[in-house]
Amino acid sequence: MRRLPFITHLALAMGLFATGAAFAQDSVRVAYQTVVEPAKVAQADGLYEKATGKTIDWRKFESGAEVITAVASGDIQIGYVGSSPLAAAASKELPIETFFIAAEIGSAEALVVRNGANIAKASDLVGKKVAVPFVSTTHYSLLAALKHWGVDAKKVNIVNLRPTEITAAWARGDIDAAYVWDPALGQIKANGKLLTSSAEVAKWGAPTFDAWIVRKDFAQKDPDFVTAFARITGEAYAAYRKDAKAFAGNADNVAKIVKLTGAKPEEIAELLAGSKFPTLAEQTTLLSSSTVKAVTETSKFLKEQGKVDKVLADYKGYVTPRFVQAAAKAAPQQVAAAKN
C-alpha cells in the first residue's frame, strides 16, 4: 500500500511527459533578430500562430552566427540570418534551406566612426579598433569595403562584438568605429559619423541580404508550417509596400516594432526605408536564381578572407522557392496586387 503514492506519482509524471511531448510537437522554435522589418507587426499580433495552428516559441538572438549554431544543434527549427552566416553555414554543408528573402539590405546597416577617433577617411582606419559581429552581413560588408578602399584588413584592429556589446564599448570609448545594424546603429550614430553603408557597398559589388532559413528535416516533416510562415511574412511585406508612409506612420505598428527591436520610435520609418522587402511576387525569382549566385559569390569572398574552409560546387541545395510558390497560390490577391 505504501507503494501506491509512488506509482500514482509515476503515472502522473508519465502523463505529464506525454502531454509535454504532444505539446512539443505542436510547438515550433523560431529564432528572430532585432532587425526592423514589417513582419514584426505580424509577429506581435500572433498572426503566425493563427495561420499555422501551432504554438511558436520566439527566441531573440543578437547575430546570425548565433542563430546558425542554434539551428545546427536542432534547438531552432526556423531562423533569421544574414547572407554571410548563411553562406558560411551552407559551405559547411549544414542541413538548412533558405525559403524566404527577408530583406535586401541598404542603409539599414552602416559603418560609423566615433567622434574624436580621428578618422576622416578610409585610410585612417589603419591601426584603429573597429567592432563588428563576426560572420555577419556587416562583417562581410566591412571586409568588402576595406578591399574596395585598398585598405589591408590585417592592418585594422577588427574585434568581434555583438550589437549590445558594441553600444557598451562605444559608450566607454573602447572602440573607434563599428559596422552594425539597429538598434545599436542608431545609438552610436548619436556620437559618430557615417563612413559608408551597405547600400554603397552593394554598388561596389558586394550586396547583402537577410533571409529566413529552415532545418531540412523540419521542412520535410511540416511543409505546411513553412508555407504559412512564408505567406504571413509576404502579406506583411505587401502591406508595407502598398503604402510605406501609412504603414510607418501607424502608431500601433511602430509600437509593436519598437517592442520587439528596441529601436527608437522616431527612427522606424527611416529604418524600414533602409532595406527592400521582397513580396511573394518577387520571391520566386530571387530564390530561383539570384540568391544562389549571391550565396556562391559570398562564399568565395569568405574563402578568400579565410572565414570558410571551402566553396561548394553548387549551392542550389540550400535555397528553395517551393514554399513561397505554395504561399503565393494561397494568397493570389496579394501577388496580383504586387504585380500591378
**Can you give the three-state secondary structure of the chain, one letter per residue?**
CCCHHHHHHHHHHHHHHHHHHHHHHCEEEEEEECCCCCHHHHHHCCHHHHHHCCEEEEEEECCHHHHHHHHHHCCCCEEEEEHHHHHHHHHCCCCEEEEEEEEEECCCEEEEEECCCCCCCHHHHCCCEEEECCCCHHHHHHHHHHHHHCCCHHHCEEEECCHHHHHHHHHHCCCCEEEEECCHHHHHHCCEEEEEEHHHHHHCCCCCEEEEEEEHHHHHHCHHHHHHHHHHHHHHHHHHHHCHHHHHHCHHHHHHHHHHHCCCHHHHHHHHHCEECCCHHHHHHHHHHHHHHHHHHHHHHHHHCCCCCCCCCCCHHHECCHHHHHHHHHCHHHHHHHHC
Q: Is 64 exposed, middle or buried (0-12, 13-18, 19+ CB in 10 A)?
A: buried
Q: What percent of the chain has pLDDT over 70?
A: 89
Indicate if the pLDDT at residue 245 is higher than 60.
Answer: yes
Indicate if the pLDDT at residue 331 is higher than 80.
Answer: no
Residues 95-128: pLDDT tens digits? 999 999 999 999 999 999 999 999 999 999 999 9
Q: Which residues contact 7 (CB under 8 A, 6 or more apart)?
A: none
d(CA 276, CA 272): 8
Q: What percent of the chain has pLDDT over 90?
A: 84
Tell me how far the alpha carbon of residue 298 is from its chain's centroid.
16
Residues 113-168: pLDDT tens digits? 999 999 999 999 999 999 999 989 999 999 999 999 999 999 999 999 999 999 99
Residues 250-295: pLDDT tens digits? 999 999 999 999 999 999 999 999 999 999 999 999 998 899 999 9
Query: Which residues pair with residue 84 across a beta bridge?
Result: none
Closest residue by Cα to residue 33 from 181, 177, 178, 168: 181
The domains of the chain, with CATH numbers, are 4-104+209-339 (3.40.190.10), 109-203 (3.40.190.10)
Residue 307 is predicted with a pLDDT of: 87
Residues 155-208: pLDDT tens digits? 999 999 999 999 999 999 999 999 999 889 999 999 999 999 999 999 999 999
What global pTM score does this model have?
0.83
Indicate if the pLDDT at residue 2 is higher than 70.
Answer: no
d(CA 30, CA 337): 29
Residues 7-27: pLDDT tens digits? 333 333 333 333 333 334 569
User: What is the average pLDDT value for the chain, to the nearest integer?
Assistant: 90
